């Protein structure tokens, strides 16, 4: 019997955090729209959710105004260290026909994941995360070992300086002068809450496959060697038979609350929009931090929420086409 075809859908985020300079907002919007059009084109052509989220995130990594790939913030030593992850849940029948190896199964879905942490020498960390998923027995690889693996699978290594934009260098100098960020004191911790630009995407395709991808340069003021939620399956990225999620914001809070996994599992009982709002509320109650979340369920329904000053998303579905939104934050007070 032929499988029913799903309606494809895709949503991407460009990070939650401060609003950033007003003069950059039109270009940030253009960057989001170009990325979502790329992913939407893949889905319209019956491409996979995995292809769509990786292409969308890679386009944002290539854009210098997003804090991922080229454009990443610098760590306390003045260097780029990037994290990225991808997760893919494919209906078992589709996975069997593609012959791909999976990390785990539910009754109906075959699930795989890949991630990289603290890499400095690849232009598109999300592509390396995908290579870890598809060509290694592992899920998470870090630092020089991940870069050596990149070379083995044919991903070109660049000099670390090639990943540093003049904008990122200027911001690093200004922050260092202002906050004495090399000490992990109160000023450095406060500074960590004011970045933006982590990128992510979630999608469902015509075959009912579901994917999530996230990529970041981390938080401002981060120490050399710090790894955030975007490298961690379950924290910054998750995909499962119910749906997929990608997070942005203060990574330590997202890790503590296993934000993406909790949200995706909650899709069993509620719509993506209700789940996204409740997940951010619970994160606020638990940590008082700032974060944002995008979600999609297996029917292609979309949800998003954040409690930062600013967050932008772009979305595609066959009914609404391609759209861009600056999202208002939800109430930020901790509940008693």
Position 81 contacts ligand GLY (CB under 6 A): no
Position 14 contacts ligand GLY (CB under 6 A): no
Position 249 contacts ligand GLY (CB under 6 A): yes
Q: Are 123 and 161 in contact (CB under 8 A)?
A: no
Minimum Å gap between C-beta 312 and ligand GLY is: 15
Position 218 contacts ligand GLY (CB under 6 A): yes
Which x/- pattern, by CB under 6 A, does the window 189-208 give for ligand GLY?
---------x----------
Cβ neighbours for 169, distance < 8 A, ≥ 6 positions apart: 74, 78
Minimum Å gap between C-beta 67 and ligand GLY is: 8
Position 76 contacts ligand GLY (CB under 6 A): no
Minimum Å gap between C-beta 23 and ligand GLY is: 24
Position 219 contacts ligand GLY (CB under 6 A): yes
Closer CB to ligand GLY, 229 or 317, in the complex: 229
Minimum Å gap between C-beta 226 and ligand GLY is: 8
Q: Which residue has the tokens 């589709």?
A: 94
Angstrom distance (rounded) from CA 201 to CA 37? 12
Position 75 contacts ligand GLY (CB under 6 A): no
Position 228 contacts ligand GLY (CB under 6 A): yes
Q: Which of 6, 230, 287, 310 binds ligand GLY (CB under 6 A)?
A: 230
Position 292 contacts ligand GLY (CB under 6 A): no
Annotation says 198 is catalytic: yes
Closer CB to ligand GLY, 85 or 124, in the complex: 85
Catalytic residue selected from 56, 104, 106, 198? 198
Minimum Å gap between C-beta 248 and ligand GLY is: 5
Only one of the segments 116-124, 225-233, 277-285, 303-311 lies at the binding site for ligand GLY (rule: CB under 6 A); that segment is: 225-233
- Strand 9-17 relative to strand 243-249: parallel, antiparallel, unpaired? unpaired
Q: Which of 248, 257, 287, 307 binds ligand GLY (CB under 6 A)?
A: 248
Minimum Å gap between C-beta 325 and ligand GLY is: 20
Interface residue list for ligand GLY (CB under 6 A): 198, 216, 218-219, 228-230, 248-251, 254
Residues known to be catalytic: 198
């Amino acid at each position: 019997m032929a499988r029913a075809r799903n309606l494809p859908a895709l949503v991407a985020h460009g990070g939650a955090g401060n609003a950033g300079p007003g003069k950059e907002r039109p270009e940030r919007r253009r960057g989001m729209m170009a990325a979502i059009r790329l992913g939407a084109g893949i889905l319209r052509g019956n491409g996979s959710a995995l292809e769509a989220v990786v292409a969308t995130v890679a386009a944002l990594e290539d854009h210098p105004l997003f804090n991922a790939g080229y454009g990443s913030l610098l760590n306390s030593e003045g260097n780029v260290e990037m994290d990225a992850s991808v997760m893919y849940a494919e209906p078992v029948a589709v996975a069997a026909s593609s012959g791909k190896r999976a990390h785990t199964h539910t009754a109906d879905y075959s699930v795989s994941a890949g991630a990289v942490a603290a890499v400095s020498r690849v232009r598109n960390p999300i592509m390396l995360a995908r290579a870890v998923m598809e060509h290694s027995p592992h899920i998470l690889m870090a630092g020089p070992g991940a870069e050596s693996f990149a070379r083995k699978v044919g991903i070109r290594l660049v000099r670390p300086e090639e990943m540093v934009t003049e904008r990122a260098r200027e911001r690093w100098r200004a922050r260092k002068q202002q906050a004495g960020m090399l000490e992990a004191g109160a000023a450095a911790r406060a500074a960590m809450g004011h970045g933006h630009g982590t990128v992510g995407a979630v999608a469902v395709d015509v075959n009912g496959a579901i994917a999530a991808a996230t990529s970041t340069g981390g938080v401002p003021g981060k120490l050399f060697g710090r790894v955030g939620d975007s490298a961690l399956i379950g924290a910054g990225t998750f995909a499962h038979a119910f749906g997929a999620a990608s997070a942005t914001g203060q990574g330590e809070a997202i890790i503590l609350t296993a934000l993406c996994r909790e949200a995706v599992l909650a899709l069993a009982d509620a719509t993506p929009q209700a789940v996204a709002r409740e997940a951010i509320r619970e994160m606020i109650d638990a940590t008082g931090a700032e974060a944002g979340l995008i979600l999609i369920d297996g029917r292609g329904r979309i949800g998003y929420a954040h409690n930062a000053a600013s967050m932008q998303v772009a979305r595609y579905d066959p009914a609404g086409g391609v759209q861009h939104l600056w999202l208002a934050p939800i109430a930020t007070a901790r509940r008693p």
